[in-house]
């Protein structure tokens, strides 16, 4: 791809790290700190270059069938530009990479493997971490990050409508729901990044390795020692002499209580033990710990909970399907609106 001279001049010495062709002569380029949008010369317009800083407060986009609008919110202004919808994914990945680097979220050498948008959920997979943002915006400073070095498990629970990605970090599972039509791409991107980071080639090998690392990093060892000790300058509250004295007293007490017939503390302990023991049933049988009725009740409750769980899953899938249908209808309405606006614009030109 040939970079226009106007872009090279606008870069002002910065390295152009990547570029995306937008059709015709239009091209969008990305430097470490800015996005440069070049519009070629047309019948009614001259060539131009618009510059957008990566130092933003929020990023949002509005998707249409033909065009996607990017909105970059700064402290005191909002700047927008449009690209063809079939180029939006490429532009978003490169733009968000620049925004994350400008904010110090990712390193200069850290590569972004994939960006995924699921309704109000944004996921960014890099070569060393997973970033998660939930909200109306595509991105803002309120996000979560899961470093690959802290991952202790990875599982995928597939459903008819959505797939649950269960990524455990520090032993705590984090659940991420992805639509089934995008789940395969997310799974491939995430597993490839984790495989490369931990130098494994399968999900089984990954879970085995990170599980072993988690056990190795555990603060308690096989002997049950806590790893805490006294400083050499600190004396223990109980010394060796006190221990010896305590053991001697214990042995003396033991000698005095060898025979239960002899009075004293030993007899008192035996009497208390006999008093506290539950009385036996005169018929010879003790009180049963459980009855068949109790077992049946527990089984019934378990079956009822299972039925409720299945009903909740069914309702959840139905709601998600309705949301998908509403999203498709909204997109159709947006397309019709764009068509009407285009017709109005053409009529204005003719008058």
- Number of domains composing the chain: 1
Long-range contacts of 312-321 (CB under 8 A, 24+ apart): 313/159, 317/159, 317/160, 317/161, 317/162, 320/161, 320/162, 321/161
pLDDT > 70: percent of the chain: 74
Q: Decide if 341 is inside a domain.
A: no
The tokens for 271 are: 């009497």
Q: What pLDDT score was predicted for residue 287?
A: 47
Q: Is the C-alpha dihedral spanning 75, 76, 77, 78 positive or negative?
A: positive
CA distances from 79 to 25, 51, 89 (A): 22, 10, 19
Alpha helices in the chain (DSSP H): 5-11, 88-102, 180-198, 203-216, 240-256, 265-276, 292-350
Q: Decide if 233 is inside a domain.
A: no
Report d(CA 113, CA 254) in Å as an integer.
72
Report d(CA 340, CA 333) in Å as an integer.
11
Q: What pLDDT score was predicted for residue 306?
A: 74
Report d(CA 193, CA 127) in Å as an integer.
5
Report d(CA 278, CA 276) in Å as an integer.
6
Q: Is the C-alpha dihedral spanning 216, 218, 219, 220 positive or negative?
A: negative
Q: Decide if 35 is inside a domain.
A: yes
CA distances from 85 to 28, 134, 146, 157 (A): 14, 23, 30, 31
Q: What pLDDT score was predicted for residue 44?
A: 72
Q: Decide if 16 is inside a domain.
A: yes
Report d(CA 65, CA 72) in Å as an integer.
21
Q: Decide if 152 is inside a domain.
A: no
Q: Decide if 235 is inside a domain.
A: no
Among 190-194, 200-204, 330-334, the least confident range: 330-334
Per-residue pLDDT tens over the stretch 121-142: 999 999 999 999 999 999 999 9
Rg value, the chain, Cα: 34
Per-residue pLDDT tens over the stretch 319-351: 877 877 787 787 778 778 777 877 776 676 655
- In this structure, the strands spanning 129-134 and 144-147 are antiparallel
Q: Decide if 203 is inside a domain.
A: no
Task: Tell me, rounded to whole angstroms, the distance of Cα 290 from its chain centroid.
Answer: 44
Per-residue pLDDT tens over the stretch 222-278: 444 444 444 545 455 545 555 555 554 544 444 444 444 444 444 443 334 444 444
Which residue, 279, 253, 284, is CA-closest to 267? Answer: 253
Q: Decide if 19 is inside a domain.
A: yes
Residue 174: HSE in the Cβ half-sphere, 13 Å Cα cutoff: 14
Report d(CA 137, CA 61) in Å as an integer.
8
Q: What pLDDT score was predicted for residue 243?
A: 52
The pTM score is 0.61
Element (H, E) at 26: strand 26-30
Per-residue pLDDT tens over the stretch 11-66: 888 999 999 999 888 999 999 999 999 998 877 778 899 999 999 999 999 998 89
Q: What pLDDT score was predicted for residue 85?
A: 93
Greatest Cα pair distance, the chain, in angstroms, is 121
Per-residue pLDDT tens over the stretch 168-183: 998 899 999 999 889 9
CB 80 within 8 A of CB 70: yes
Per-residue pLDDT tens over the stretch 280-331: 444 444 444 555 566 667 767 777 787 787 788 788 878 877 877 787 787 7
In this structure, what CATH number is given to the domain that contains residue 45? 2.30.29.30
For residue 70, the enclosing domain spans 1-104
Name the 3-class secondary structure at 107.
coil
Which residue, 181, 185, 205, 179, is CA-closest to 194? Answer: 205
Per-residue pLDDT tens over the stretch 76-116: 999 999 999 999 999 999 999 999 999 999 999 999 999 99
């Amino acid at each position: 791809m040939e970079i226009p001279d106007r872009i090279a001049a606008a870069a002002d010495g910065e390295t152009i790290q990547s570029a995306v062709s937008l059709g015709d002569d239009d091209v969008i380029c990305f430097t470490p700190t800015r996005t440069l949008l070049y519009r070629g010369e047309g019948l009614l317009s001259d060539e131009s270059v618009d510059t957008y800083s990566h130092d933003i407060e929020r990023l949002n986009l509005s998707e249409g069938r033909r065009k996607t609008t990017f909105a970059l919110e700064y402290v005191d202004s909002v700047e927008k530009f449009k690209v063809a919808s079939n180029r939006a994914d490429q532009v978003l990945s490169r733009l968000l990479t620049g925004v994350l680097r400008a904010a110090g979220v990712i390193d200069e050498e850290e590569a972004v493997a994939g960006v995924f948008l699921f309704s109000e959920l944004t996921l960014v997979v890099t070569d060393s971490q997973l970033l998660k943002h939930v909200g109306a915006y595509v991105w803002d400073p309120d996000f979560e990050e899961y470093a690959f070095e802290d991952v202790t498990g990875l599982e995928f629970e597939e459903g008819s409508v959505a797939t649950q990605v269960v990524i455990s970090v520090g032993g705590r599972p984090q659940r991420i729901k992805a639509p089934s039509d995008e789940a395969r791409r997310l799974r491939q991107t995430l597993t490839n990044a984790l495989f490369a980071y931990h130098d494994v080639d399968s999900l089984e090998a990954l879970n085995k390795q990170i599980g072993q690392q988690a056990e190795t990093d555990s603060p308690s060892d096989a002997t049950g020692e806590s790893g805490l000790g006294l400083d050499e300058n600190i004396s223990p509250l109980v010394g060796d002499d006190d221990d010896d004295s305590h053991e001697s007293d214990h042995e003396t007490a033991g000698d005095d209580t060898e025979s239960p017939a002899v009075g004293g503390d030993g007899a008192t302990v035996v009497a208390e033990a006999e008093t506290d023991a539950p009385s036996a049933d005169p018929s010879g049988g003790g009180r049963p710990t459980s009855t068949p009725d109790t077992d049946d009740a527990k089984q019934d409750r378990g079956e009822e909970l299972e039925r409720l769980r299945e009903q909740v899953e069914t309702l959840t899938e139905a709601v998600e399907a309705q949301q998908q249908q509403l999203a498709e209808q909204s997109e159709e309405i947006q397309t019709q609106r764009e068509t009407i606006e285009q017709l109005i614009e053409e009529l204005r030109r003719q008058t």
